[in-house]
Amino acid sequence: MTWPEEAASPHWATPSRSGPEATATLNVVPSPAADSARARRVSLVTLGCARNEVDSEELAGRLAAGGWELAAEPEDSDVVVVNTCGFVESAKKDSVDTLLAAADTGRKVVAVGCMAERYGNELADSLPEADAVLGFDHYADLSARLDDVVAGRAIAAHTPSDRRKLLPISPVQRPAASAEVEVPGHAQHGWGPRVLRTRLDDSPVAALKIASGCDRRCSFCAIPSFRGSFVSRQPDEIVAEAAWLAENGAKELFLVSENSTSYGKDFGRDGTRALELLLPRLAEIDGIERVRVSYLQPAETRPQLVRAIATTPGVADYFDLSFQHSSEQVLRRMRRFGSTDSFLALTEQIREYSPEAGIRTNVIVGFPGETEDDLAELERFLTGARLDAVGVFGYSDEDGTEAETFDGKLDPAEVAERVARISALVEELTAQRAEDRIGTFVDVLVEHDGADGDDAVGRAAHQAPEVDGECVILEDEDTKPFAVGDLVRCEVVDSAGVDLVVRPAPDAGR
């Protein structure tokens, strides 16, 4: 209920590439187990969030090292690997539907990812169409496990456990211990200077994982139980992967984690400013035009971090803040901190540094015990905060969470009515915010060049991929042609909802 990007449509990996980015293709290593006519072939389909996309690219890198070739279509593969999402009911349904569709191709089907990790043998028992259900601990040997699947050898389904128990309670003791625990997105241990990752698309935007897991105990969220405790990646490792991404076509780095404001807390005292120090290093990498940070916890967002994001050259003045609600009573039941006034103060602090900064959030309405006064308090916050994008989600129980046991549950029809009420307010407020940008100038990263006759499309600094709207670029005979990956200075001339209509500045070019 808190992740608008989690239930995204399946993304099939496409291996075909050309031009200067061709180095990102899979390097197929001949394998003794390969068919004499062709190498073993695998299709990857990814559901869910940007973190899952990073995990899929890591899996592609592992499979390349194990002699597997990536196939664009499942019909051309020996195995279809579905990287599932399991955060909310709609995402779980999408994952099951995608697994069934993969099975309909007649190919072997393997489930990995969050739903597989969270439900394991329960999923395997209820979905015999899947030839294997593998957890995170299978990732290191995924190539061999796929060999078993193709050969018809049975693999015991993953047995779920609370992954928070795999690492020490104290964050500063985790860096050493994490080398012995499989943490998706942290696969560089033992690979030396090589980046264990293969890009699966030609997008100028690349997600870059800076940490995994979460130490917070939000009463509505099951993520820590199957993603584990919070673990930061080392800065040098992140910078090395960022440079590799730049060499392979990335223009914007999208920093992802379950909680980016905790980055570096497991480094000890030296980690208190780790993210602030990392950002300029990433922004200085040749070829990188913009660095974007996602998923900030308001209660952990320090003034120094606000300043770093708002003022560091090359870093998008963009704040993805997980407010979730603004009523103190509801926030306490969520096991979170804050209030309408403290959140409004944070948004004002951001705009003191950067008046045009983008701020987005998600909110949950209909939480157990939420009153009309609580909802009015949320409306007061949304009206005063002038946010650029807001995801509105109705509460529903999640397996194994504390909130599942709470009293004061609202009738689903009442939850739906509140979702509609807040969504209508959000639609009006965010459209007003977009309209306020008319007459200002924005730097647009071109993601679709319009070569097919449609308008060129891109995103400004306040717009993250897929969730925050886009910029439609008006072109005429005097406009220089733009290519995907160009960063173009534009004037905002109109708006449509959260989308902007922009015109290249007179001196704009490649």
CB atoms within 10 A of CB 339: 16
Residue 237 pLDDT = 92
* pLDDT tens figures, 55-102: 999 999 999 989 999 988 888 899 999 999 977 777 888 899 999 999
Q: What share of the chain is helix, strand, coil (3-state, %, to 5)?
A: 40, 20, 45
| DSSP structure string for 213-268 | ------TT--HHHHH-S-EEPPHHHHHHHHHHHHHTT-SEEEEE-S-GGGTTGGGG
Tell me the fold of 440-504: OB fold (Dihydrolipoamide Acetyltransferase, E2P) (2.40.50)
Q: For residues 58 and 197, is the Cβ–Cβ distance under 8 A?
A: yes
pTM of this structure? 0.88
Residue 510 pLDDT = 43
Q: Is 471 annotated as a binding residue?
A: no
Tell me the fold of 41-159: Rossmann fold (3.40.50)
Residue 450 pLDDT = 79
Q: Is 218 annotated as a binding residue?
A: yes
Residue 86 pLDDT = 79
Q: Is 221 annotated as a binding residue?
A: yes
With a cut of 50, list the residues of the chain below it in pLDDT. 1-9, 12, 14-37, 510
Q: Is 114 annotated as a binding residue?
A: yes
Distance between CA atoms of 474 and 361, rounded to whole angstroms? 29
Domain span(s) for CATH 3.40.50.12160 in the chain: 41-159
Distance between CA atoms of 107 and 76, rounded to whole angstroms? 9
Architecture, CATH, for domain 173-436: Alpha-Beta Horseshoe (3.80)
Residue 18 pLDDT = 29
Amino acid at residue number 278: L
Domain span(s) for CATH 2.40.50.140 in the chain: 440-504
* pLDDT tens figures, 399-451: 999 999 999 999 999 999 999 999 999 999 999 999 999 999 999 999 998 77
Three-state SS for 316?
A: coil
**How many alpha carbons lie under 13 Å from residue 495 in its C-beta half-sphere?**
18
